[in-house]
Amino acid sequence: MILVSLITAGYVGLGVRLVDIQVLQHDKHAAHALDNTRRRVIHASRRGDILDIRGTVLATSRIAKTVCADPSLMGSHQRLVARAIAPFLGRDAADLAKRMQRRVYTDAEGRQREDKHVVLARKVLLEDWKGITNALAYIEFGVDVKSLPRKERLNYYNVRRSVFCEKIDSQLRVYPSGNLAAHVTGFVGVRDPEGSSVPVVGLEGKHGIERMLDSQLEGVRGWRETETDRSRDEVVPFRVRDVKPRDGMNVVLTLDANVQYIAEKALEALCTKHTPASACIVVVNPKTGAILALANRPTFDSNKPGDSNAANRRNRVIADVFEPGSTFKIVAVSGALNEGVVRLHDRFHCENGRLYFAGKVLRDHHAYGPLSVREIITKSSNIGTAKVAMKLGAHRLHNYISEMGFGQRSGVALPGEVRGILHPVRNWSKLSISRIPMGHEIAATPLQLVMAMSAMANGGNLMRPLLVDRLVDRDGNVVMQYEPTVVRKVIRDETAQQMVKTLITVVSAEGTARQAWLKNYAVAGKTGTAQKPSKTRRGYEVGKYFSSFIGFLPAENPRLCIGVFVDEPHNGHYGGVVAGPTFKVIAEKSANYLGLEPSIPVKPMSEQKPRVVLR
Amino acid sequence: MPRNRKKQDSPLSVGLWIRAALLCLLLGGTAMGYVWQKSQIHQLGTEVRKKEVRLELLKGDNERWQQLRAEMRSTQKLYDRVRKLGLGLTMPQPEQVLRLSDLPLDAKELKQSKPGEYRTVTNKPRRERP
């Protein structure tokens, strides 16, 4: 009787437990069971490429793996494994073996846990990962594994699978041209999986176009909800949801890799000759505002941005401001011509090189007497420009400076652009009206100066700098086309034509930019040589200059506007001497490459005398 | 009156046997079909997985070749290669460039010109096709 009661009680207990598990705690256990098999796999989208206007790849992506190890499965074979995989990871075997040593750590709940997920290397290419799996499959332990008992055999099997890769692919960003246009393309870094339960390590643009168009380049991640078997392999029929990733768009820039290369080479030669603190070049199409080349020195390699310091990575074309010097004279003179307060043949006395104004002396580099407005620009007279600006008046001068884009961002699609410095008229001193027209007491970025010169070249339209031509999808369909934009009309067509005629004389035997003269093209431009303001005291540094030349060609129908800016050059400091020759090299080569029709008639080869070249 | 036991009908008739056999066959066939279908699904799943892995590898290869092509086409590499091979290639000078106007299809002058002779023709706008 007792036995029957006990058995009955046992069955009743089991029944109660069964109901407890199957009914009362059903949700909890069902979720736990599902958790053991259900997996959510993230598919990274492929980051879009960055191309130049002719399709040359400036940045591309490759699928890569993150290689990890589970030291708990290795036993004492760390060195053996490290020797097998080290060549594929490009790492020292001893270093790897040390990294794969077993370690314990204390978790948040204070429990001791063994580290089973050690990241050995990121961004390992697929072919290298294939090499690693092969190397692990054929690793030699020095014993006949097959003849061992099952348990020991399993240990060796575990060693082979102790190195694995993360389920989520990462990407390796490659810049095939190295440091070519590095400040434009920028670089990427690792995105932190902020607030995400899934450890997704993606790429994030950190600089340049990579940063500005990060969301367009990145694309949209896909995911898959599926189940795995005991060996954690996917059971394909149990896929619940499979959302394909949408790859990022390709960005086509207005840059031309060949013009960029020409500019970079010329800049290198300039830096070798004049050893400046920094230098930069911008080449734009003045009619559209399209940037064809943008180069900086010092520079960096986008493939290894960490190897360079922040100063090398700074895009000085938009992030640095300088007192521009005489290149700024075009603003005051064009404004005065546009307002009709002066005419090109009006003459101003240049006080033989010394003008006392507001208690200070304003000097010219030569003692000039009376000069026409055209000659004031040709010879770059400070006193003459100051007198022209005084006729224009402070308010109208400020208005023209502002209209030409100074003191405001140009809107170029690059991060870190600064406004420059343009003080309101109420803050001007008595001296300002004589100093600002010659490019002092004002700070501008090289890009602002080039865009202002482009406005002179294209008939008076201030263009928005255009760096991105279009966005295209992976199949080559244009998703977004960026059109040239006129910001505003700053001077009349006739004034612009007068300015072009005047600026042509700068690049002549009488002008300050003789070295920028070209045989086949009429060139117009303006030199600039500014002393650098002192950072520690009032006034200017002795022997430190900012030299520049901005010119365009062919003068009558300009296709190229080139600005060369050199900070603290040695072996000469005049803009015409330091920047002029570099302008000439870039202009000649770029015009040849782009097939610009010479504006000065050239004799065909057949009509020229044969040239004997001795080798 | 009691019935003759010898002449009594068997409770399991042939028809019943046939029906039972058919039912068994049906159940067996359904079970076999179910297992076969599951096996097929599993097999197809494995094949899909294999193909996906293969596709991934091919995509990887494609990207590798694309990168190689991009490197070979990079301006820097091309200039270096030209210099290394000593081909003496330089950009043409403007005087070396012969500029031709866009010849209209119906230019009569073109027919009259002799081989090797260059002529300047008036560039008339092309007629619209009907």
pLDDT digit string, tens, across residues A585-610: 999 999 999 988 888 877 666 666 65
User: Please, which pLDDT band fits residue A199 given cuts at 50, 70 and 90?
Assistant: low
**How many angstroms away from the CA of B84 is the closest CA of chain A?**
17
Contact residues on chain A for B66, CB-CB shorter than 8 A: 57, 60
Q: Sort out which chain B residues have CB atoms less than 8 A from A258's CB and list them.
A: 75
Structural domain contains residue B38: yes
C-alpha A23/C-alpha A278 separation (Å) is: 76
Strands (E), A126-175: 163-165, 170-174
Closest approach of chain A CAs to the CA of B99, in angstroms? 8
Q: What is the pLDDT of residue A130?
A: 87
Judged by a CB distance cut-off of 8 A, whether residue A602 touches chain B is yes
Token reading at A26: 């059903």
A589 touches chain B (CB under 8 A): yes
Q: What is the mean pLDDT of residues A251-279?
A: 95
Minimum CA–CA partner of A589 in chain B: B91
Name the amino acid, one letter, at A142.
Answer: G
The nearest alpha carbon in chain B to A607 belongs to B95
SS3 of residue B32 by DSSP? helix
Nearest chain B residue to A519 by CA: give it.
B94
B117: in domain: no
Count of the separate structural domains present in chain B = 1
Residue B109 lies in a domain: no
Chain B CB contacts of A127 below 8 Å? 60, 64
B contacts of A174 (beta carbons < 8 Å): 67, 70
> Residues A81, A87, A88, CA angle at the centre, nearest 5°?
90
For domain A37-78+116-253, which CATH number applies: 2.40.50.140, 3.60.15.10, 3.90.1310.10, 3.30.499.10? Answer: 3.90.1310.10
**A359: Cα within 13 Å, side-chain hemisphere:** 3
Residues in chain B: 130
List residues of B whose CB lies inside 8 A of any A CB. Answer: 41-42, 44-46, 48-49, 56-57, 59-61, 63-64, 66-67, 70-71, 73-76, 79, 91-99
User: Distance between CA atoms of B49 and A88, rounded to whole angstroms?
Assistant: 26
Residue type, A489: K
Cβ of A608 within 8 Å of Cβ of B96? The answer is: no
Note whether A389 and A434 are within 8 A (CB).
yes
The yes-or-no verdict on residue A547 having pLDDT over 60 is yes
> A130 contacts in B (CB within 8 Å)?
57
Mean pLDDT over the full length of chain A = 90
**Interfacial A residues in 517-536 facing B (CB < 8 Å):** 520
A131 at B interface, C-beta within 8 A: no
Query: Distance, in angstroms, between B90 CA and closest chain A CA?
Result: 10
Q: Which uninterrupted H or E stretch holds A540?
A: strand A540-553
Residue A148 three-state SS: coil
Angle at B21 between CA B15 and CA B24, to 5 degrees: 145
In this complex, how many residue pairs, one in chain A and one in chain B, have their CB atoms less than 8 Å apart?
A: 85
A397, A402, A403, A404: CA torsion to nearest 10:
90
Where along chain A do the CATH 3.90.1310.10 domains lie? 37-78+116-253
Nearest to B95 among A60, A234, A608 (CB): A608
What residue ranges of chain A are covered by domains with CATH 3.40.710.10? 257-594
The beta-strand segments (E) located in A130-201 are 163-165, 170-174, 187-191
Taking only residues 19 to 78 of chain A, the set having a beta carbon closer than 8 angstroms to any beta carbon of chain B reads 56-57, 60-63
Three-class SS of A441-507: CCEECHHHHHHHHHHHHCCCEEECCECEEEEECCCCCEEEECCCCEEEECCCHHHHHHHHHHHHHHC
Q: Is the peptide bond before A298 cis (omega within 30 degrees of 0)?
A: yes
Lowest mean pLDDT among A324-338, A422-436, B51-65: B51-65
Assigned domain for B58 exists: yes
- Residues of B in Cβ contact (< 8 Å) with A603: 95
- Say if B65 falls within a structural domain: yes
Is A237 near chain B, with CB under 8 Å? yes
* CATH number corresponding to A257-594: 3.40.710.10
Q: Do A62 and B67 touch (CB under 8 A)?
A: yes
Does the beta carbon of A303 lie under 8 angstroms from any beta carbon of chain B?
Answer: no
Do residue A605 and residue B75 have CB atoms under 8 angstroms apart?
Answer: no
- In which band, very low, low, confident or very high, does the pLDDT at A615 lie, cut at 50, 70 and 90? very low
Most confident of A58-62, A354-358, B32-36, B75-79: B32-36
**Do A602 and B94 count as a contact with CB atoms less than 8 A apart?**
yes
pTM (two decimals): 0.82
Q: What are phi and psi of A241, to 5 degrees?
A: -140, 140
Distance of alpha carbon A308 from alpha carbon A154, whole angstroms: 48
- State how far Cα A556 lies from the chain centre: 33
Chain B hits for A589, CB-CB cut-off 8 Å, are 91
Closest to A260 measured CA to CA, from A299, A238, A293, A230: A293
**Which residue, A375, A394, A403, A380, is CA-closest to A324?**
A380
d(CA A67, CA A87): 14
B93/A592 CB distance under 8 A: yes
User: pLDDT tens-digit profile of A149-181?
Assistant: 888 888 888 888 899 988 777 888 999 988 999
Q: Are the beta carbons of A345 and A505 closer than 8 angstroms?
A: no
CB contact under 8 A, A63 and B56: yes
- Quote the domain boundaries for residue B39: 14-84
Confidence at A558, pLDDT banded by 50, 70, 90: very high
Which pLDDT tens digit goes with each residue over A332-375?
999 999 999 999 999 999 988 898 888 888 988 889 999 999 99
Q: Is residue B7 part of a domain?
A: no
pLDDT of res. A471: 95
Q: Measured between beta carbons, which residues in chain B are less than 8 angstroms from residue A62?
A: 60, 63-64, 67
Mean per-residue pLDDT, A417-443 = 93
Q: What are the pLDDT digits (tens) for B47-85? A: 998 998 899 888 888 888 988 888 888 888 888 888 899
Say if A593 is an interface residue toward chain B (CB within 8 Å): yes
Confidence of residue B8 (pLDDT cuts 50, 70, 90): low
